[in-house]
Amino acid sequence: MTKRTGSRIDFSRIRDVKVADLDEETAKLELAALAMEIATHRDLYYQKDAPAITDAAFDALDKRNAAIEKRFPKLMRKDSPSKKVGAAAATGFGKVKHAVPMLSLDNAFSEEDVREFDAGIRRFLRLGEDEKVEYTAEPKIDGLSFSARYEHGRLAVVATRGDGAEGEDITANARTIKEMPDMLMGDVPKHIEIRGEIYMTKADFAALNESQAEKGAKTFANPRNAAGGSLRQLDPKITASRPLKMFAYAWGAADTTPWETQWEYLQQLKHWGFPVSKESKLCKSIDDVIATYHKLGEMRAKLPFDIDGVVYKVNRLDWQKRLGFVSRAPRWGIAHKFPAERAETVLENIEIQVGRTGALTPVAHLQAVNVGGVSVTRSTLHNEDEIERKDVRIGDTVVIQRAGDVIPQVVEVVLSKRPTTARKFKFPDTCPVCGSHAVREEGEVAKRCTGGLFCKAQAVERLRHFTARDAFDIEGLGEERLQLFFDEKLIKDPADIFVLKTHRAALENFEGWGQKSIDNLLAAIERRRTIPLEKFIYALGIPQVGQATARLLAKNYESLAAWRKAMVAASKDRDGEAFSQLTSIESIGPSTADDIAGFFGETHNLEILDRLDKELDIQDFVRADTSNSPIADKTIVFTGTLEKMGRSEAKAQAQALGAKVAGSVSKKTDYLVAGPGAGSKLKEAEALGVKVLTEDEYLKLIDS
C-alpha cells in the first residue's frame, strides 16, 4: 500500500490512500508530516500580505489530520498547529480589549462533518440516543465582525474583532450606521456587548464601485472588502456616505443573561431594535439543520447580501457552558461552508518562496482570472509532492478554486488543453535566496533551506513574525522597512529593534524619511516595550509554538525567568525532570518539547533573550481570579473512564478553575482522578504518594 523511496515514505502517494486503509506506522509518520506542513503554511498565511497558503489547502490538510487522529486516537499529536483569528489593526484607530475574547468557529465542509459535530456534542454531554439536541442555523454573513458595548442601554464603544483579544475602536464610524441602535429600549442589562456583522448588500456594492470608478477613485474587489474599507475610514463622514448595514447574533460580556437559549436571545435582539437575519432558523434535529443548509444554498444567489455558509449553534445555553471551548473555538458551534467557486486559467510560471522556518514553497503565477468576483493571479502549489501528484506543468490550463470563497488553490490540470510546449518544473536543491543546500528530512513534505539566520529570507521573516500583530504588533515596522534595516545592518535580530533609536542619524539619511516618520516609528517601538509573557513567547518564533502553546507555557511557568531556567535545564537533559515536566503539560508532546529545548540549547538565542530581557518589561502571566477554587494552582491528571462527565469536559472544567492539567503523573502531581479502568498512571501515583481521588470525590472537592 505504501510506497517508499529508500527509508522515506512517499507522501504524494499516501495522500491518495483513504484514511481507512492506512496502517498504524504510516499513519504516525503522516501525522508528523501533517503537523509540520500545517504549521509551516499557517505561518506563511498569517504573516504575509500575499500568502502562499490557501484556505482550501489548509482545510484539506486539517481535515485529513483530524480523520487520521479519529481512526488512530492513540497517535494523536499534542503539537498539532491550530488556526488563528483576526486581521491587522488599521493605523489611526485606538485599541479596545475585549472583555470576552471574540473567537472563531471550526469549519465543516460536508454533511458527514456536520453529523460528526452532532455526535461529538452528544458524546461530550453523554446524551442518550433519544435525547433531542436543538440547534440554531444562522446565515454566515460575509462582512466585518464587531462588538458593541452598551452601558445602561446607551451605546458606549464599538470595536472590530482584531486578533480576537483586542480590536480597533470604530465607535465614531459605527454610529453612522442607521441600523446600529444608539439606545436600547426595554429591560436591558446594565452592561452588555452585542456582537454581529457589518456588511454591504450586493446592489449597494455595485453602485458604490460604479460611483468610485466615475470619480477615478479606488474600487473594491467584493462587498466584504467594501464594507471593511468603508468602516475603517479615518473620517466618519466618508463612512456615513457608504451604505453599510448590520446583523446582530451574539453577545460577549454581560452582567446578566436572562435568556436560556440562543433562539430566545435572537428574539430579544429584535425587541431591542437590532436587525436579525430572517433566514435564521431553530432546528429540532441534525436532519433539520442539514435541510436548512441546502435550502440556504439554493437561496444564496437570490439573497441581497453575500453569505459563505451557515453557522450552527447548540441552542441550550447551559449545554453551551458545559461544552466550553477548545483553544480558539467553541465546542458548541461550527460553520458549515458552501462549496468553493471555480474557474480555468493558464499557469504561466512557478516561483519558490522561502518562509520563516526555511520551508521552500512553490507559488503558481497565473493569467488573471475572475473567481467569485475576485481577480486571481497567484496560487500556492504547496510542495514538491503536490506538483508531482497533480502533474502540474508550466503552460498548463488549470482549474482554480477559492475555498470558502476567499483564497485560491490549483485543483487540477485540464489535460485535454495541455499544449506541446508545457514543461515540467524542476524543484531546486538549493535555496533561491541564499544558495544554501535545501534538504528534505524523513517524514517531512517540505524541503528546507539549511542557511538558518544566514539566509536573508529566514532572518527577515523571523523579524516579521516578531513584529506581527499577534506578537509585538509594532506599527510602521512592516516587511519593506525590516528588509531595508536588515540590508543596512541596523537590525539583525529582534533585540536590535529596541536599540534602533541609537541609529537615528542613519535613519535621517534614508531617502524620503522625515523627522515625523522617524519619530512615529521610534514612538511605536517604545510603546511595545511592555508585553505579556504569552505574547513574548509566541513572538520568539520557536517552531511548533503557536499562540495556544505559548499561552500554555506562560500559564505553567508564569514568569520569563522561571520558564527560561526550566527550558535551559530541559535542553541539557532530555531524560531529566525539566523535560519530563514540559512534556507533561497538556497539548505539548515530545516533538514540540524538542523544538523548545532545541531553541534554548543555542547560545545565540540565549544571548538575544538576555538583550531582550534588558530592554523590555515582560509581564508575568496573569491568572484568572480562582481564589475561591479548591484546585487553583494544583496539578491534576485524569485517568480511566469518567462516568459523570467526559474526559474532555473534566479537563476543560479543571483548567477553568485554575488547575494545571497534565498528561502524565510526576511527583509534582497534586491529584490523580481515577475512574474505572485506570492502569499505569494509577500505579505511578501510588508509588509516588500522589493523592488519588475517585470521580465522586473529585466532584465533591470542586463543588466545595
pLDDT one-digit tens code per residue, 652-684: 788 888 888 888 888 889 999 988 888 888 888
pLDDT of residue 82: 41
Q: How far apart are CA 641 and CA 274, in angstroms?
A: 46
260 and 173 Cβ atoms separated by less than 8 Å: no
pLDDT the model gives residue 135: 98
- Over range 285-298, report the average pLDDT: 94
Residue-wise pLDDT for 596-613, tens only, equals 888 888 787 888 899 999
Which one is catalytic: 140, 313, 447, 660? Answer: 140
Residue 613 half-sphere exposure toward CB, CA atoms < 13 A: 13
pLDDT band at 16; cut points 50, 70, 90: low
Q: Which three cell numbers stand for residue 261?
A: 437559549
Sorted by where each begins, the domain ranges of the chain are: 4-84+340-424, 95-327, 532-619, 635-703
Q: Are 337 and 309 contacting, i.e. CB atoms less than 8 angstroms apart?
A: yes
Average pLDDT over every residue of 641-645? 80
Q: Which residues are CB-contacts of 49 (< 8 A; sequence separation ≥ 6)?
A: 479
Residue 406: is its pLDDT beyond 70?
A: no
C-alpha cell at 582: 514540559
Q: Shortest CA distance to 356 belongs to which of 568, 612, 546, 82? A: 546
Residue 57 confidence (pLDDT) above 70:
no
Amino acid at the residue 495: A
Q: Domain 635-703: which topology?
A: Rossmann fold (3.40.50)
Identify whether 140 is a catalytic site residue. Answer: yes
- Give the chain's end-to-end CA distance (angstroms, integer): 56
Inter-residue contact 494 to 612 (CB < 8 Å): yes
Percent of the chain's residues with pLDDT above 90: 46
CATH superfamily entry for domain 532-619: 5' to 3' exonuclease, C-terminal subdomain (1.10.150.20)
Give 334's strand partners: 106, 312
Give yes or no for a contact between 65 and 15, defined as CB atoms under 8 angstroms apart.
no
**655 to each of 68, 526, 552, 624, how far by Cα in Å?**
27, 35, 11, 10
- CA torsion 225-230-234-237 (nearest 10°) is 170
448-449 and 438-439 as β-strands: parallel, antiparallel, unpaired? antiparallel
Q: Tell me the pLDDT band of 36, cut-offs 50, 70 and 90.
A: confident
The CA–CA distances, whole Å, from 313 to 29, 323, 326 equal 35, 11, 15
Give the relative orientation of helices 560-572 and 590-600 as an angle to the nearest 10 degrees.
Answer: 100
pLDDT at 84: 39
Q: What is the CATH number of domain 4-84+340-424?
A: 2.40.50.140
Quote the pLDDT of residue 78: 61
CB 568 within 8 A of CB 606: yes
pLDDT category, 527, cuts 50, 70, 90?
very high
Contact 555, 635 (CB under 8 A): no
What is d(CA 312, CA 281) in angstroms, rounded to the nearest whole number?
A: 10
Confidence of residue 242 (pLDDT cuts 50, 70, 90): very high
pTM of the model: 0.53
In 10 A of CB 268, how many CB atoms?
18
User: Which tens digits make up the pLDDT trace of 350-403?
Assistant: 999 988 778 899 999 999 887 765 678 999 898 899 999 999 999 999 998 875
* Distances 38 to 2, 49, 437, 590 between C-alpha atoms, Å: 22, 18, 23, 18
Calpha distance 350→400 (Å, rounded):
15
Count of residues making up the chain:
704
Mean pLDDT of the region 16-40: 76
What's the grid cell of residue 234? 479615518
Q: Is 365 left (phi over 0), alpha (psi -120 to 50) or beta?
A: beta
Asked if 58 and 42 touch (Cβ cutoff 8 Å), the reply is yes
Residue pLDDT, tens place only, 486-509: 989 999 889 999 999 999 999 988
Res 342: pLDDT: 78
Q: Which three cell numbers stand for residue 12?
A: 504524494
List of residues 6+ apart from 55 with CB closer than 8 A: 402, 403, 404, 406, 407, 409
How large is the greatest C-alpha to C-alpha distance in the chain, in angstroms?
Answer: 80
CATH of domain 95-327: 3.30.470.30
pLDDT in tens, 427-446: 999 999 888 788 886 667 88
Residue 474 near residue 496 (C-beta atoms within 8 A)? no
Domains 4-84+340-424 and 635-703 in one fold? no
Alpha helices in 468-602 (DSSP H): 479-487, 494-497, 504-508, 515-526, 533-539, 547-557, 560-572, 577-584, 590-600
Output the pLDDT for position 46.
33
| CA torsion, ordered 432, 433, 437, 441, to nearest 10 deg | -90
Per-residue model confidence (pLDDT) at position 314:
98
Reported as a single tens digit per residue, the pLDDT across 172-194 is: 999 999 999 999 988 899 999 99
In terms of Cβ atoms closer than 10 Å to its own Cβ (0-12, 13-18, 19+), residue 67 is middle
Cα 482 to Cα 450, 467, 505, 580, 627, distances in angstroms = 22, 10, 17, 38, 45
What are the pLDDT digits (tens) for 70-109?
777 777 766 654 433 333 334 457 889 999 989 889 999 8
pLDDT at 453: 53
